[in-house]
Amino acid sequence: MDLGPGLIAELLALGTVAGFLAGLLGIGGGMMMVPVMSFILSHRGVASGPAVKMAIATSMATILFTSLSSVRAHHRLANVRWPIVSALAPGIVAGSLVAGAGAFALLKGQGLALVFSAFIGWNALQMLRDRKPHPARGLPGWRGLAAVGAGIGFVSALLGAGGAFMSVPFMVWCNVPPREAVGTSAALGFPIAVASSAGYVISGWNVPPALPGAFGYLYLPALLVVSLASVMLAPWGARVAQRIDVRHLKRIFAFFLLLLAASMLQRAWSG
């Protein structure tokens, strides 16, 4: 398949929106990129099953670049809690590798999608209710953070998401200010993407390319075009996040969590 002007335009638009959301909400854009890229690949002749796996893997690989642009902007605005990043990162890398290299190739994910659509929807509703966390609640110790990181990495690698749908609500629940939770989540997207992408390469090593330019589950032309667009837009989203009211930021994030929950539920329902 040739990388024609129509496909390039679609991927540029996708990367533009994904990059802005990465900066605004600390997400990698996977919640939007996966269904859209699945549609793009299916429309061009890839069977639905491989299209979803390629969309997940390619979406996660773009976070390698988007997260660097996003976290740089958030770091300049002093919104990244680096001690939290260093405590969560080891578990995140381990969980992402296990999911990307093993479970991703083996699981169909229908039951998993049902469980986590309920989990994500519950988190979104809690944020919309704007219930204040207990003032004495703080982050757990390093063992607890390592375990939380492993769970975030494992689920993120299976879903092709940057992890913010779990890490931001967790940090806010532990009384981390929302702007800092978003900025810290942006920094966590990089280790998730590195470990997950390595896992996808391992699990897809012997998978025949579904399209010219595909390498296992990774579709390299989409990775290039989407990454270029998203890297340019991520700093804009970070600047908007700095100016917007915290309550509005939480509501926006909760709205996208609900969209992700609905998407996962629909995917599980359709089998």
Residue 1 has what pLDDT?
47
Whether the CB-CB separation of 250 and 131 falls below 8 Å is answered with no
C-alpha distances (whole Å) from 204 to each of 47, 137, 168, 189 are: 16, 42, 30, 22
Helix (H, G, I), strand (E, B) or coil at 53: helix
* Beta-bridge mates of residue 219: 214
Give the chain's length. 271
Q: By C-alpha distance, which of 128, 171, 136, 139 is closest to 26?
A: 171
Please provide the DSSP assignment of 63-91 as one string.
Answer: HHHHHHHHHHHHHHTT---HHHHHHHHHH
Output the six-digit token pair for 213.
Answer: 């330019």
User: What are the pLDDT tens digits along the chain (271 aa)?
Assistant: 456 677 788 888 888 887 787 677 656 566 667 777 878 887 877 776 777 788 888 888 888 887 787 788 888 888 899 999 999 999 999 988 888 777 666 665 455 556 656 766 776 776 677 666 566 677 888 889 999 999 998 888 877 777 777 888 889 888 888 888 888 988 898 888 888 888 888 877 777 777 777 887 888 888 888 888 887 877 787 777 777 775 676 677 677 768 767 776 775 666 5
Locate the DSSP E strands across 125-253.
214-215, 218-219
Output the six-digit token pair for 103.
Answer: 């479970």
Burial class (CB in 10 A: 0-12, 13-18, 19+), 164: buried
Output the six-digit token pair for 23.
Answer: 């900066």
C-alpha distances (whole Å) from 96 to each of 47, 124, 269 are: 26, 23, 25
Question: In the Cβ-directed half-sphere of 167, how many Cα atoms lie within 13 Å?
Answer: 38
Residue 68 has what pLDDT?
80
Whether the CB-CB separation of 182 and 25 falls below 8 Å is answered with yes
- Cα gap 153→82, rounded to integer Å: 17
